[in-house]
Structure 1
Amino acid sequence: MSLLTLLPGAHNDILVMPRWPSKQVLVDELTWQKLQAAQASLPAHLGLLLTRAYEPAVTELGRARTVFRRMGIWLFGMLYPHRKDEIDDIFGSNGHDLDGTHIDVSITIHGRRVRLLPLSVFTPISWQARRIKKFNADLVLVQTALAAQGFQLHRNATESLQIHCDLKPVLQ
Protein backbone atom coordinates (compact mmCIF):
# COMPACT_ATOMS: atom_id res chain seq x y z
CA MET A 1 0.00 0.00 0.00
CA SER A 2 1.50 3.29 -1.12
CA LEU A 3 -0.07 6.16 0.84
CA LEU A 4 0.21 9.88 0.25
CA THR A 5 -0.07 12.27 3.18
CA LEU A 6 -2.12 15.31 2.22
CA LEU A 7 -2.30 18.33 4.49
CA PRO A 8 -5.21 20.80 4.39
CA GLY A 9 -5.30 23.01 1.31
CA ALA A 10 -5.51 22.80 -2.46
CA HIS A 11 -3.70 19.93 -4.16
CA ASN A 12 -3.92 19.67 -7.96
CA ASP A 13 -7.39 21.29 -8.14
CA ILE A 14 -8.77 19.21 -5.27
CA LEU A 15 -9.33 20.79 -1.88
CA VAL A 16 -8.25 18.67 1.09
CA MET A 17 -10.05 19.34 4.38
CA PRO A 18 -9.50 16.50 6.86
CA ARG A 19 -12.52 15.65 8.98
CA TRP A 20 -12.07 16.64 12.61
CA PRO A 21 -10.08 15.62 14.59
CA SER A 22 -7.65 14.56 11.82
CA LYS A 23 -4.96 16.96 10.68
CA GLN A 24 -4.18 15.17 7.38
CA VAL A 25 -5.64 12.71 4.90
CA LEU A 26 -3.79 9.49 4.08
CA VAL A 27 -4.87 8.32 0.64
CA ASP A 28 -3.76 5.51 -1.64
CA GLU A 29 -1.67 6.86 -4.53
CA LEU A 30 -3.77 5.26 -7.30
CA THR A 31 -6.97 6.42 -5.58
CA TRP A 32 -5.59 9.96 -5.52
CA GLN A 33 -4.74 9.75 -9.24
CA LYS A 34 -8.25 8.51 -10.05
CA LEU A 35 -9.77 11.28 -7.92
CA GLN A 36 -7.71 13.85 -9.83
CA ALA A 37 -8.92 12.34 -13.13
CA ALA A 38 -12.51 12.60 -11.92
CA GLN A 39 -11.92 16.26 -10.98
CA ALA A 40 -10.42 16.98 -14.43
CA SER A 41 -13.58 15.67 -16.10
CA LEU A 42 -15.90 17.98 -14.14
CA PRO A 43 -17.05 21.42 -15.31
CA ALA A 44 -14.99 24.33 -13.99
CA HIS A 45 -17.63 25.44 -11.44
CA LEU A 46 -17.62 22.06 -9.69
CA GLY A 47 -14.86 20.89 -7.37
CA LEU A 48 -14.05 17.85 -5.28
CA LEU A 49 -13.08 18.15 -1.63
CA LEU A 50 -11.37 15.16 0.03
CA THR A 51 -12.22 14.82 3.71
CA ARG A 52 -11.31 11.27 4.71
CA ALA A 53 -9.40 8.20 3.55
CA TYR A 54 -7.19 5.78 5.52
CA GLU A 55 -7.49 6.05 9.31
CA PRO A 56 -5.44 3.47 11.22
CA ALA A 57 -7.46 1.95 14.05
CA VAL A 58 -4.51 1.31 16.36
CA THR A 59 -3.64 4.89 17.27
CA GLU A 60 -4.88 7.26 19.95
CA LEU A 61 -6.96 8.98 17.29
CA GLY A 62 -8.34 5.60 16.19
CA ARG A 63 -9.32 4.74 19.76
CA ALA A 64 -10.95 8.16 20.16
CA ARG A 65 -12.94 7.55 16.99
CA THR A 66 -14.20 4.28 18.48
CA VAL A 67 -15.51 6.18 21.52
CA PHE A 68 -17.11 8.87 19.31
CA ARG A 69 -18.63 6.16 17.11
CA ARG A 70 -20.21 4.43 20.14
CA MET A 71 -21.68 7.71 21.36
CA GLY A 72 -22.94 8.43 17.84
CA ILE A 73 -24.59 5.01 17.59
CA TRP A 74 -26.38 5.61 20.89
CA LEU A 75 -27.56 9.09 19.85
CA PHE A 76 -28.60 7.95 16.36
CA GLY A 77 -30.60 5.09 17.88
CA MET A 78 -32.35 7.51 20.21
CA LEU A 79 -33.15 10.05 17.46
CA TYR A 80 -33.98 7.57 14.71
CA PRO A 81 -35.22 4.31 16.24
CA HIS A 82 -36.85 3.42 12.91
CA ARG A 83 -33.44 3.56 11.16
CA LYS A 84 -31.54 1.09 13.34
CA ASP A 85 -30.89 -1.13 10.32
CA GLU A 86 -28.63 1.65 8.95
CA ILE A 87 -26.32 1.86 11.98
CA ASP A 88 -23.67 -0.56 10.67
CA ASP A 89 -23.50 1.24 7.30
CA ILE A 90 -23.35 4.70 8.86
CA PHE A 91 -21.12 4.03 11.87
CA GLY A 92 -18.98 1.17 10.60
CA SER A 93 -15.44 1.88 9.44
CA ASN A 94 -16.49 1.27 5.81
CA GLY A 95 -12.94 0.30 4.93
CA HIS A 96 -11.29 3.48 6.20
CA ASP A 97 -9.28 1.34 8.62
CA LEU A 98 -8.05 -1.00 5.85
CA ASP A 99 -6.33 1.14 3.25
CA GLY A 100 -6.55 4.46 1.44
CA THR A 101 -8.97 3.33 -1.29
CA HIS A 102 -12.08 4.09 0.77
CA ILE A 103 -12.68 7.83 0.73
CA ASP A 104 -15.20 10.50 1.67
CA VAL A 105 -15.55 13.40 -0.71
CA SER A 106 -17.57 16.58 -0.62
CA ILE A 107 -18.20 19.08 -3.39
CA THR A 108 -17.69 22.76 -4.00
CA ILE A 109 -19.72 24.88 -6.36
CA HIS A 110 -18.02 28.07 -7.54
CA GLY A 111 -15.46 27.56 -4.77
CA ARG A 112 -17.98 27.24 -1.92
CA ARG A 113 -18.38 24.00 -0.02
CA VAL A 114 -21.78 22.37 -0.30
CA ARG A 115 -22.86 20.68 2.89
CA LEU A 116 -25.10 17.88 1.71
CA LEU A 117 -25.40 16.66 5.31
CA PRO A 118 -25.45 19.87 7.37
CA LEU A 119 -25.91 17.85 10.59
CA SER A 120 -23.55 15.09 9.47
CA VAL A 121 -25.15 11.64 9.60
CA PHE A 122 -27.77 13.05 11.97
CA THR A 123 -29.32 15.10 9.15
CA PRO A 124 -33.01 14.10 8.88
CA ILE A 125 -34.05 12.21 5.74
CA SER A 126 -36.41 15.06 4.76
CA TRP A 127 -33.50 17.53 4.82
CA GLN A 128 -31.41 15.08 2.81
CA ALA A 129 -34.16 14.89 0.18
CA ARG A 130 -34.24 18.69 -0.10
CA ARG A 131 -30.43 18.85 -0.52
CA ILE A 132 -30.56 16.13 -3.19
CA LYS A 133 -33.28 18.00 -5.06
CA LYS A 134 -31.42 21.32 -4.84
CA PHE A 135 -28.04 19.96 -5.98
CA ASN A 136 -29.16 16.99 -8.09
CA ALA A 137 -27.60 18.08 -11.40
CA ASP A 138 -24.19 18.65 -9.81
CA LEU A 139 -24.44 15.46 -7.75
CA VAL A 140 -25.11 13.43 -10.88
CA LEU A 141 -22.07 14.98 -12.57
CA VAL A 142 -19.86 14.13 -9.59
CA GLN A 143 -21.22 10.60 -9.23
CA THR A 144 -20.77 9.97 -12.95
CA ALA A 145 -17.19 11.30 -12.92
CA LEU A 146 -16.31 9.14 -9.91
CA ALA A 147 -17.92 6.03 -11.41
CA ALA A 148 -16.04 6.56 -14.68
CA GLN A 149 -12.79 6.33 -12.70
CA GLY A 150 -13.78 3.09 -10.96
CA PHE A 151 -15.28 4.43 -7.74
CA GLN A 152 -18.39 2.81 -6.30
CA LEU A 153 -20.70 4.89 -4.11
CA HIS A 154 -21.84 3.44 -0.78
CA ARG A 155 -25.19 1.63 -0.90
CA ASN A 156 -26.58 3.56 2.10
CA ALA A 157 -28.31 6.82 1.12
CA THR A 158 -26.80 8.84 3.98
CA GLU A 159 -23.28 7.51 3.36
CA SER A 160 -23.65 8.18 -0.37
CA LEU A 161 -24.49 11.82 0.43
CA GLN A 162 -21.31 11.92 2.46
CA ILE A 163 -19.98 10.75 -0.91
CA HIS A 164 -18.32 7.75 0.64
CA CYS A 165 -16.91 5.74 -2.23
CA ASP A 166 -14.51 2.89 -2.73
CA LEU A 167 -12.05 2.48 -5.58
CA LYS A 168 -12.81 -0.93 -7.00
CA PRO A 169 -9.82 -2.95 -8.18
CA VAL A 170 -9.53 -3.54 -11.90
CA LEU A 171 -9.93 -7.24 -12.62
CA GLN A 172 -7.35 -8.49 -15.08
Structure 2
Amino acid sequence: MSVAYGPLRPRILTMQSNLLKLTPGVHAGVQIRPRWPARHVRVDTHVLGKLQTIQTELPAEITLILTRGYEPRASRLGFARRQFRALGIGAFRLLYPARLDELADIFGSNGHDVDGTHIDVSFSLNGRRVRMLPLGVFTPPAWQQRRVRRCASALAQIRAALMRHGFQIHRNATESLQMHCDLAR
Protein backbone atom coordinates (compact mmCIF):
# COMPACT_ATOMS: atom_id res chain seq x y z
CA MET A 1 0.00 0.00 0.00
CA SER A 2 1.32 3.43 -0.90
CA VAL A 3 0.69 6.43 1.34
CA ALA A 4 1.36 10.03 0.29
CA TYR A 5 2.37 12.70 2.78
CA GLY A 6 2.66 16.22 1.46
CA PRO A 7 3.01 17.34 -2.15
CA LEU A 8 5.94 15.03 -2.97
CA ARG A 9 5.64 11.44 -4.08
CA PRO A 10 5.80 9.02 -1.16
CA ARG A 11 9.13 7.52 -0.16
CA ILE A 12 7.55 4.64 1.67
CA LEU A 13 8.90 1.31 0.53
CA THR A 14 6.48 -1.06 2.21
CA MET A 15 3.78 -1.10 4.80
CA GLN A 16 3.50 -4.11 7.11
CA SER A 17 0.54 -4.00 9.49
CA ASN A 18 0.95 -0.56 11.05
CA LEU A 19 4.68 -0.11 10.30
CA LEU A 20 6.03 2.16 7.60
CA LYS A 21 9.49 1.55 6.17
CA LEU A 22 10.81 5.03 5.41
CA THR A 23 13.83 5.85 3.27
CA PRO A 24 15.93 8.97 3.80
CA GLY A 25 14.17 12.16 2.77
CA VAL A 26 11.44 14.47 4.01
CA HIS A 27 7.91 13.34 4.80
CA ALA A 28 5.55 16.28 5.43
CA GLY A 29 8.29 18.29 7.05
CA VAL A 30 9.80 15.46 9.12
CA GLN A 31 13.25 14.48 7.92
CA ILE A 32 14.16 10.81 7.87
CA ARG A 33 17.87 10.16 8.48
CA PRO A 34 18.51 6.58 9.58
CA ARG A 35 21.30 6.12 12.10
CA TRP A 36 24.21 4.16 10.68
CA PRO A 37 24.31 1.32 9.70
CA ALA A 38 20.55 1.36 8.96
CA ARG A 39 19.29 2.42 5.51
CA HIS A 40 15.70 3.09 6.52
CA VAL A 41 13.56 3.76 9.59
CA ARG A 42 10.55 1.59 10.44
CA VAL A 43 7.96 3.45 12.42
CA ASP A 44 4.34 3.06 13.47
CA THR A 45 1.95 5.02 11.20
CA HIS A 46 0.41 6.74 14.23
CA VAL A 47 3.86 7.85 15.44
CA LEU A 48 4.72 9.37 12.05
CA GLY A 49 1.39 11.19 12.03
CA LYS A 50 2.08 12.62 15.48
CA LEU A 51 5.58 13.72 14.47
CA GLN A 52 4.14 15.44 11.40
CA THR A 53 1.58 17.26 13.58
CA ILE A 54 4.32 18.29 16.00
CA GLN A 55 6.42 19.58 13.10
CA THR A 56 3.58 21.89 12.00
CA GLU A 57 3.40 23.33 15.54
CA LEU A 58 7.13 24.05 15.83
CA PRO A 59 8.72 27.31 14.64
CA ALA A 60 9.88 27.22 11.01
CA GLU A 61 13.56 27.20 12.02
CA ILE A 62 13.19 23.83 13.82
CA THR A 63 12.96 20.63 11.78
CA LEU A 64 12.44 17.22 13.37
CA ILE A 65 14.71 14.39 12.23
CA LEU A 66 13.60 10.79 12.79
CA THR A 67 16.74 8.66 13.17
CA ARG A 68 15.62 5.33 14.61
CA GLY A 69 12.46 3.29 15.02
CA TYR A 70 11.67 -0.42 15.04
CA GLU A 71 14.61 -2.75 14.45
CA PRO A 72 13.79 -6.47 14.48
CA ARG A 73 16.10 -8.36 16.80
CA ALA A 74 16.45 -11.24 14.33
CA SER A 75 17.97 -9.27 11.46
CA ARG A 76 21.42 -8.33 10.18
CA LEU A 77 20.93 -4.83 11.59
CA GLY A 78 19.91 -6.27 14.96
CA PHE A 79 22.99 -8.51 14.91
CA ALA A 80 25.25 -5.57 14.03
CA ARG A 81 23.74 -3.41 16.78
CA ARG A 82 24.31 -6.20 19.34
CA GLN A 83 27.97 -6.49 18.30
CA PHE A 84 28.54 -2.72 18.46
CA ARG A 85 26.68 -2.62 21.77
CA ALA A 86 29.03 -5.23 23.28
CA LEU A 87 32.08 -3.24 22.17
CA GLY A 88 30.49 -0.02 23.39
CA ILE A 89 29.76 -1.43 26.83
CA GLY A 90 33.41 -2.42 27.24
CA ALA A 91 34.65 1.01 26.17
CA PHE A 92 32.05 2.83 28.30
CA ARG A 93 33.09 0.82 31.39
CA LEU A 94 36.70 1.91 30.87
CA LEU A 95 35.94 5.57 30.13
CA TYR A 96 33.15 6.15 32.65
CA PRO A 97 33.55 3.75 35.61
CA ALA A 98 31.37 6.03 37.78
CA ARG A 99 28.45 5.70 35.34
CA LEU A 100 28.04 1.90 35.31
CA ASP A 101 24.47 2.25 36.60
CA GLU A 102 23.58 3.80 33.21
CA LEU A 103 24.69 0.83 31.09
CA ALA A 104 21.23 -0.75 30.76
CA ASP A 105 19.60 2.57 29.86
CA ILE A 106 22.25 3.56 27.32
CA PHE A 107 23.04 0.18 25.75
CA GLY A 108 19.69 -1.61 26.09
CA SER A 109 17.37 -1.86 23.10
CA ASN A 110 14.90 0.49 24.86
CA GLY A 111 11.96 -0.99 22.99
CA HIS A 112 13.36 -0.52 19.49
CA ASP A 113 13.05 -4.30 19.04
CA VAL A 114 9.41 -4.34 20.24
CA ASP A 115 7.46 -2.11 17.85
CA GLY A 116 7.54 1.17 15.94
CA THR A 117 6.42 3.34 18.85
CA HIS A 118 9.93 3.57 20.35
CA ILE A 119 11.88 6.19 18.41
CA ASP A 120 14.93 8.44 18.46
CA VAL A 121 14.45 12.00 17.23
CA SER A 122 17.00 14.67 16.45
CA PHE A 123 16.53 18.16 15.01
CA SER A 124 17.98 20.84 12.82
CA LEU A 125 17.99 24.52 13.64
CA ASN A 126 17.96 27.02 10.78
CA GLY A 127 18.79 24.20 8.36
CA ARG A 128 21.78 22.92 10.36
CA ARG A 129 21.66 19.59 12.14
CA VAL A 130 22.16 19.90 15.87
CA ARG A 131 24.22 17.08 17.33
CA MET A 132 23.54 16.94 21.03
CA LEU A 133 25.88 13.94 21.32
CA PRO A 134 28.69 14.51 18.79
CA LEU A 135 30.59 11.49 20.16
CA GLY A 136 27.44 9.45 20.62
CA VAL A 137 26.97 8.03 24.10
CA PHE A 138 30.67 8.70 24.74
CA THR A 139 30.13 12.47 24.70
CA PRO A 140 31.39 13.70 28.09
CA PRO A 141 28.65 15.02 30.41
CA ALA A 142 30.26 18.50 30.46
CA TRP A 143 29.96 18.68 26.66
CA GLN A 144 26.36 17.48 26.90
CA GLN A 145 25.52 20.24 29.38
CA ARG A 146 27.17 22.89 27.21
CA ARG A 147 25.15 21.78 24.18
CA VAL A 148 21.94 21.76 26.21
CA ARG A 149 22.59 25.37 27.27
CA ARG A 150 23.34 26.39 23.68
CA CYS A 151 20.10 24.89 22.32
CA ALA A 152 17.93 25.19 25.44
CA SER A 153 15.03 27.02 23.80
CA ALA A 154 14.67 24.69 20.79
CA LEU A 155 15.19 21.62 22.96
CA ALA A 156 12.51 22.76 25.43
CA GLN A 157 10.02 23.43 22.61
CA ILE A 158 10.60 20.03 21.01
CA ARG A 159 10.40 18.12 24.28
CA ALA A 160 7.24 19.97 25.34
CA ALA A 161 5.60 19.24 21.99
CA LEU A 162 6.55 15.56 22.14
CA MET A 163 5.12 15.23 25.65
CA ARG A 164 1.95 17.14 24.73
CA HIS A 165 1.35 14.60 21.97
CA GLY A 166 1.76 11.57 24.23
CA PHE A 167 5.46 10.77 23.96
CA GLN A 168 7.46 9.92 27.06
CA ILE A 169 11.10 11.01 26.93
CA HIS A 170 13.65 8.55 28.33
CA ARG A 171 14.63 9.18 31.96
CA ASN A 172 18.39 8.80 31.35
CA ALA A 173 20.12 12.12 30.59
CA THR A 174 22.18 10.73 27.69
CA GLU A 175 19.24 8.87 26.14
CA SER A 176 17.05 11.95 26.53
CA LEU A 177 19.56 13.96 24.47
CA GLN A 178 19.16 11.39 21.69
CA MET A 179 15.52 12.21 22.31
CA HIS A 180 14.66 8.57 22.73
CA CYS A 181 10.94 8.58 23.35
CA ASP A 182 8.06 6.14 23.46
CA LEU A 183 4.49 6.83 22.42
CA ALA A 184 2.24 6.02 25.36
CA ARG A 185 -1.04 4.55 24.16
Q: State the TM bucket, normalised to the shorter chain.
A: over 0.9
Which amino acid in 1 is paired with 2:147? R
Which amino acid in 1 is paired with 2:159? Q
Q: State the shift of 1:37 in Å.
A: 1.0
Say yes or no: does 1:127 pair with 2:147: no
Say yes or no: does 1:39 pair with 2:74: no
Aligned residue in 2 for 1:95: 111
Q: 2:101 aligns with which of 66, 85, 90?
A: 85
Q: 2:88 aligns with which of 69, 72, 77?
A: 72
Which amino acid in 1 is paired with 2:167? F
Q: State the shift of 1:63 in Å.
A: 1.0
Q: Which has the higher contact order (CA 8 A, sep 6+)?
A: 1
- Where does structure 2 lack aligned partners over 5 or more consecutive residues? 1-16
Say yes or no: does 1:26 pair with 2:57: no
Q: 1:146 aligns with which of 162, 168, 182?
A: 162
Taking structure 2 as the reference length, the TM-score comes to 0.90
User: 1:90-144: per-residue Cα shift (whole Å, max 9, x none)?
Assistant: 0000000000000000010011100000000000000000000000011000001
What SS does the corresponding residue of 1:126 show, helix, strand or coil?
helix
The alignment of Structure 1 onto Structure 2 pairs a total of residues equal to 169
Q: State the shift of 1:60 in Å.
A: 1.6
Q: State the shift of 1:35 in Å.
A: 0.9
Query: What does 1:57-68 align with in structure 2 at a 5 Å threshold?
Result: 57-68=73-84
Contact map agreement 1:56 1:97 (CA 8 A) in 2: yes
Q: State the shift of 1:61 in Å.
A: 1.6
Q: 1:115 aligns with which of 107, 131, 139?
A: 131
What SS does the corresponding residue of 1:50 show, helix, strand or coil?
strand
Q: 2:72 aligns with which of 56, 78, 90?
A: 56
Which amino acid in 2 is paired with 1:23? R
Which amino acid in 2 is paired with 1:80? Y
Contact map agreement 1:46 1:107 (CA 8 A) in 2: yes
Percent of aligned positions with the same letter in both sequences?
A: 56
Q: Distance in 1 between matches of 2:57 and 2:138?
A: 32
What SS does the corresponding residue of 2:26 show, helix, strand or coil?
strand
Aligned residue in 1 for 2:21: 5
Q: Distance in 1 between matches of 2:110 and 2:46?
A: 19
What SS does the corresponding residue of 1:15 show, helix, strand or coil?
strand
- Where does structure 1 lack aligned partners over 5 or more consecutive residues? none
Which amino acid in 2 is paired with 1:93? S
